[in-house]
Amino acid sequence: MLRWVRQQLGFDPPHQSDTRTIYIANRFPQHGHYVPQKFADNRIISSKYTVWNFVPKNLFEQFRRVANFYFLIIFLVQLMIDTPTSPITSGLPLFFVITVTAIKQGYEDWLRHKADNEVNGAPVYVVRSGGLVKTRSKNIRVGDIVRVAKDETFPADLVLLSSDRVDGSCHVTTASLDGETNLKTHVAVPETAVLQSVANLDKLVAVIECQQPEADLYRFVGRITVSQQTEEIVRPLGPESLLLRGARLKNTKEIFGVAVYTGMETKMALNYKSKSQKRSAVEKSMNSFLIIYLIILLFEAILSTILKYAWQAEEKWDEPWYNGKTEHERNSSKILRFISDFLAFLVLYNFIIPISLYVTVEMQKFLGSFFIGWDLDLYHKETNQRAQVNTSDLNEELGQVEYVFTDKTGTLTENEMQFRECSINGIKYQEVNGKLTPEGFSEDSPDGNRHSLMREEELFLKAVCLCHTVQINADQTDGADGPWHANGIASPLEYYASSPDEKALVEAASRVGVVFTGTSGDSMEVKSLGKPERYKLLHVLEFDPNRRRMSVIVESPSGEKLLFTKGAESSILPRSKSGEIDKTRIHVDEFALKGLRTLCIAYRRFTPEEYQEIGKRLHEARTALQQREERLADVFNFIERDLELLGATGVEDKLQEKVQETIEALRVAGIKVWVLTGDKHETAVSVSLSCGHFHRTMNILELVQHKSDSTCAEQLRQLAKRIKEDHVIQHGLVVDGTSLSLALREHEKLFMEVCKNCSAVLCCRMAPLQKAKVVRLLKTSPEKPITLAIGDGANDVSMIQEAHVGIGIMGKEGRQAVRNSDYAIARFKFLSKLLFVHGHFYYIRIATLVQYFFYKNVCFITPQFLYQFFCLFSQQTLYDSVYLTLYNICFTSLPVLIYSLFEQNVHPHVLQSKPVLYRDISKNAHLGFKPFLYWTILGFFHAFVFFYGSYLLMGEDTSLLGNGQMFGNWTFGTLVFTVMVITVTMKMALETHFWTWINHFVTWGSIVFYFIFSLFYGGIIWPFLHTQDMYFVFVQLLSSGSAWFAIILIVVACLFIDVLKKVLYRHLQPTSTEKAQMEEDKGSVSSACDFAESRHRGEDNRQLLDPSSLPDSSYVH
């Protein structure tokens, strides 16, 4: 029990050893004292709550919010002491807010439960007691042998035992895990591959030892020991043997696998990254404002308590004749009485803190986020993809971005590779009409029109065709001997590849005469100018980012053992000892200057002795359970040396459409763009120039290829000096990964200074974590700028999660970036609409919403404070308790919510065509201290006008009612409340620029509802109310002509100053946005045109609101 508690608290991890031992089919050893290891069951749990913990857990989370906790305290105070208002006045709004939030969160969690149950209840087939047993997915245990059929997903992480193919191989797509759509080949060990029936598998006696679960999808270290008769055979298990939960079986009839990781220990579940909660700048401002208002509240409560006791110092006011004290009150402690009075005033003024602000903001964010998904301008027709919102908490942050960090490949470019040039044996070639033509030769020249390939060319193309992970569509492999063209080239095969570069190279080789026709067993088949050749695949040395290369060892038809290697020039050229190294290096740099992606290709021949040594070393490293990666890296480095360079390739990645215009618009909007890429220096600079990130007129500074701290620091100082000297012209900075590491280690401040003075920064040769480091560096700099990161691949995830706003591109590199992002769009060009239009609207709406809430609560409570000066600080309430309760919930809640959903202060087309308007809202301009102070002072001013206006007009002459009756305090309070409801609603109307029928309905409807409610509430005796102070008060008030005069006069007096201020500022000191509004108004020829425009915009809005107008109306947000 104690251990379980320690595990739950995280002190005692459940897995004590580094490895787990799995007995296949759960055949545990019969001898000895074997204690089975405990493993997780196969249930997937993505939900947050259960039926039992929902109420306590949800309440705990909600009361962590300052405002909710504060109102709970106030409610408890009202229950404990005699306070001027009923506990219902605090309790009901609190209950409403808590209930609405709990329903929303409960519904979202119910959907998660539903999805979990669907997954956990899926039918699966397991081998038990010599037969196939149908069971549910959640019942699979570690050690069970599971059967999976074609197109089914794997229900747990399985080690492949056998398939319907003799060699025990199968094809898998991992699109749902890492987004890679290519078919990956997985293979079983030879000893189990032959066991293709249930009966044979049931006799299998084997043990798997492997590492404990970890999140890395591409790492698996284990070994299988198979007992056959008297001997035990040990085979290594790697990622190629592991079938991951969530992946799908393709082109294979069925497979059998043994479950090694189940449920929440599968790699898929471990990759459910609990994203750190990002908080927007607006939320931080909101909390600051709440604290200021809490200080105002405490000040008012303390002042009222002190004045009460100062007043009561005079005996005639301490115990007036009409209000004598009881014996208990006379004898009670003065300190306790002071505390009691202070708490009573705190309760009386507590509505200055707007409790419904949180729930309104949540509703606004949740409902407002649908507009992004419904926006047809963000819909990409070719791929049928619409924008996606993964978190609605950051909508307004889209309007505050100061830095954009973007990946290059697949984000700025299409990630569609086209073979352009290659260098073979020091000669440059281009592809002309399906033939390799040396540079300088045309197709018509004698040497340009050849049907044969030279030996070096053929060897180069064979290396391209053999060194890759490309798969062929299974439906085509049988027909590879099909129609042949005149030049001996097969009709195009359909290739699948995890890397678009590989696919482009294999396709290019097939066009010029060397065709990869597929694999069968451990052989790779190639047709060179129509002549089939079969190479035996002996070993694959997988690609990894540290080596930056991949290799294959094959046996040629003549029996020769060959190593073919391809990779970045920085990892191939230093390892080459022969071939045209210098010429190739020049050619690689030339390709890079044209913006092409480059790869170098080399080979090596092995003697039988060398190959034997290599095979032994590889087997030892691959069967090691400890430090397998390090050992393999050492062996790979030992093998990939003394290479003979064959040549290099140049592949073009086309720029996405409108990238140049988007980057220019971001620059005009005052947003700095940084490009972070893994590409080599020259390629990255070339693409930066072509996409407009760097201008031709820009002075490009470089901080590259530094190996030591001292040289890096010296270069940084020189760059800073140059920027100061040439401060007139724009600068662009290029940094590479190694120099960046040095710069960040010791000279962070200097590096930041240089970067901030550059208009554009390009970081090349970046590792994924370096990208995140750069984002964090800027994010945490003293200015605290708002950052946005955009990328399309798994290597961009850390950067996307680090930035304030993360945007995933739905590209060809999979869905990992999209899944980990806050927003997802199909193309980079959509970023301008997302920021300049949606970001602008969301920010304006929520800035006004937050400040309006504080304003209307100041208007609400200040008259209550002023009233105490007229009632001897007796804590008499000015308003009826029903009005206190319903003011924020009913009378003033809808106009501001509708405003915050539909407001468009400038037409969307104007915002997109004038990116400079984005500068008007940057740096939290509308939620800074000045606007907050203006709204607060306006609230106090309006409150004084409400109270003293009503007092001056009605207070002295108290017999103004039609029947000669006198005004009472409830009539006075109701007059103040009526004026207040009308004024704050009209103030919202003044702030609204874009009127729809919904705005009209809720604005005027709120005022009408208040009047109708008051007539019903005061006109009927309600049996369930124990006191009814308001009976007939409202009806009598409205029967007085002077009351109507007072209402109109006070409302006009309040709003006149506000209108005057707006008019003067608009004409004397207009912002860019206000100028755009005036230009928009002048553009309307007549009022009829105005009406037509308004109607057209209304239709636009309705079109946005109507998901059925999208091509696929089944879309669910």
For the stretch 421-450, pLDDT in tens is 899 988 888 888 777 888 766 555 444 444
696-717 in b/e burial notation, b at 16+ Cβ within 10 A?
eebebbbbeebeeeeebbebbe
β-bridge pairing 596-606 and 403-406:
unpaired
State how beta strands 19-23 and 206-211 pair.
antiparallel
pLDDT of residue 160: 92
Confidence band, pLDDT 50/70/90 cuts, at residue 1114:
very low
- Cα separation of 127 and 973, whole Å? 79
Angstrom distance (rounded) from CA 507 to CA 256: 34
Percentage of the chain lying above the pLDDT 70 cut = 84
pLDDT of residue 99: 87
Average pLDDT rounded to a whole number, residues 939-960: 78
Inform me whether the pLDDT recorded for 1023 exceeds 70. no
Indicate whether 486 pLDDT > 70. Answer: no
Q: Which amino acid is at 568?
A: A
CB 308 within 8 A of CB 45: no
The region, left, alpha or beta by phi > 0 then psi within -120 to 50, assigned to residue 233 is: beta
**pLDDT, tens only, 12-62:** 444 467 788 888 888 877 766 667 778 888 888 877 788 888 888 888 888
Q: How confident is the model at residue 94 (pLDDT cuts 50, 70, 90)?
A: confident
Tokens of 959: 């017999």
Pairing of strands 805-809, 823-825: parallel
C-alpha pair distances (Å), 145 with each of 30, 154, 217: 20, 12, 22
Do β-strands 123-128 and 19-23 pair in parallel, antiparallel, or remain unpaired?
Answer: unpaired
The residues, ordered by sequence, that sit 6+ positions from 753 with a Cβ below 8 Å of its Cβ are 720
841 confidence band (pLDDT: 50, 70, 90) = very high
**pLDDT exceeds cutoff 70 at 1078:** yes
What is the token pair recorded at 844? 């304006």
Whether pLDDT at 1099 is above 50: no
Among 598, 541, 538, which residue's Cα sits nearest to residue 567?
598
Nearest alpha carbon to residue 334 among 353, 352, 308, 358: 308
User: Which structure tokens are listed for 315?
Assistant: 């005996």
Q: For residue 792, which phi and psi values (nearest 5 degrees)?
A: -125, -10
Average pLDDT estimate for 819-845: 89
CA neighbor of 376 nearest in space, from 1101, 1083, 1116 = 1101
- pLDDT value at position 1110? 41
pLDDT per residue as tens digits for the range 256-280: 999 999 988 888 777 654 545 677 7
Sign of CA dihedral 853, 857, 859, 860: positive
Instruction: Report strand pairing: 672-676 vs 403-406.
Output: parallel
3-state secondary structure of 483: coil
The number of CA neighbours under 13 Å toward the Cβ of 15 is 14
In the block, tokens 């980057």 appear at 663
Query: In what helix (H) or strand (E) does residue 567 lie, and over which residues does it extend?
Result: strand 561-567
Mean pLDDT of 365-370: 87
Regarding predicted confidence, which is higher, 394 or 859?
Answer: 859
Tokens of residue 858, six digits: 């100041």
- Give the pair of three-digit tokens for residue 447: 């040497």
Report whether 153 contacts 246 (CB < 8 A). Answer: yes
- Main-chain phi, psi angles of 490, to 5 degrees: -70, 155
Provide the pLDDT for residue 260: 93
Return d(Cα 1000, Cα 323) in angstroms, integer. Answer: 50
Whether the per-residue pLDDT at 966 is higher than 60: the answer is no
Q: What is the pLDDT of residues 725-766, one digit of tens each?
A: 877 778 888 888 888 888 888 788 888 888 888 888 998 877
Convert the pLDDT of each residue in 612-664 to its tens digit.
888 888 888 888 777 877 888 888 888 888 888 999 998 887 778 888 889 88
**Mean pLDDT value of segment 517-542:** 84
The string of DSSP codes covering 261-297 is E-GGGSHHHHT---PPPP--HHHHHHHHHHHHHHHHH
Q: Tell me what percent of the residues of the chain surpass a pLDDT of 90.
A: 13
* Per-residue confidence (pLDDT) for residue 331, from 0 to 100: 65
Helix axes 893-902, 997-1019, angle to 10 degrees: 170
**Helix, strand, or coil (residue 647):** strand
Higher pLDDT: 372 or 877? It is: 372
Interatomic CA distance for residues 153 and 250, integer angstroms: 10
Of the candidates 412, 329, 869, 975, the residue with the CA atom closest to the CA atom of residue 679: 412
541, two tokens: 């040395």
Q: Which two tokens stand for residue 455?
A: 């030996």
Strands 495-496 and 643-655, by their bridges, are unpaired
Residue pair 565/576 in contact by the 8 Å Cβ criterion: no
What's the Cα-to-Cα distance from 276 to each of 10, 820, 901, rounded to whole Å? Answer: 19, 11, 27
Indicate whether 1052 pLDDT > 80: yes
pLDDT digits (tens, 9 = 90+) for 561-572: 899 999 888 888
* pLDDT value at residue 1000: 93
Q: Could you tell me which of 267, 373, 429 has the C-alpha nearest to residue 1104?
A: 373
Q: Distances in Å between the alpha carbon of 15 and those of 20, 269, 629, 1047, 1072?
A: 9, 17, 22, 74, 62
- Which of the pair, 999 or 1080, is modelled with greater confidence? 999
pLDDT for the residue numbered 1097: 47
> With contact defined as beta carbons under 8 Å apart, do 238 and 4 qualify?
no
Hey, which residues are catalytic here?
407
Which range in 197-201, 324-328, 701-705, 854-858 is most confidently predicted, on average pLDDT?
854-858
pLDDT at 479: 41
955-966 average pLDDT score: 56
pLDDT surpasses 60 at 11: no
Q: Pick the closest to residue 813 from 219, 409, 508 (CA basis).
A: 409
Element housing 136 (H / E) = strand 131-136
Residue 120 burial (CB count, 10 A): 18
Which residues are CB-contacts of 576 (< 8 A; sequence separation ≥ 6)? 602, 643, 644, 645
Residues β-bridged to residue 644: 578, 603
Least Cα distance to 684 among 779, 820, 529, 568 occurs for 568
pLDDT > 50? residue 7? no
Q: What pLDDT is stored for residue 405 in this prediction?
A: 92
Span of 305-314, 478-487, 730-739, 740-749 with lowest mean pLDDT: 478-487
Q: Which residues pair with 703 in a beta bridge?
A: 735
> Which of 176, 202, 367 has the alpha carbon at shortest distance from 272?
176
The mean of the pLDDT values for the chain is: 80
- Per-residue pLDDT at 178 exceeds 70: no
Say whether pLDDT at 1004 is over 90: yes
The rounded distance, in Å, linking the Cα atoms of 260 and 265 is 9
